[in-house]
Amino acid sequence: MKLLIAVVQDKDSNRLVDALGQENFKTTKLATTGGFLKEGNTTLMIGCEDDYVDDALKIIKDNCSQREQMVAPISPMGGNADSYIPRPVKVEVGGATVFILPIESFFQF
């Protein structure tokens, strides 16, 4: 058995949870924050048998698209501001980061 921990952008999370549910993958959804943009994201914990890991990864890949987004940079609060660019920049967002962990045992009460 494996535990997949998938960190995805909030915009992709509902579509992904629905797609995983249609294929009978049980998920636990956690609201998380972090990353370069300090925006909200979603962390999904997905437990599955070893034989179904590739199926889960395909669903994640199909439902978490990467795209470009304009972001207003945060102004520096001190230090050297020589490299600060005060106009929006285009960054790539979306996609998924997935960690796969082995599970020694599983209990549900």
pLDDT of res. 56? 97
The mean pLDDT of 50-70, rounded to a whole number, is: 88
Per-residue pLDDT band for 74 (boundaries 50, 70, 90) equals: low
The mean pLDDT of 69-74, rounded to a whole number, is: 64
User: Is the per-residue pLDDT at 7 higher than 80?
Assistant: yes
User: Is the per-residue pLDDT at 37 higher than 60?
Assistant: no
Phi, psi of 16 (to 5 degrees): -70, -45
pTM of the predicted protein model: 0.74
The mean pLDDT of 5-16, rounded to a whole number, is: 90
Decide if 27 contacts 13 (C-beta within 8 A).
no
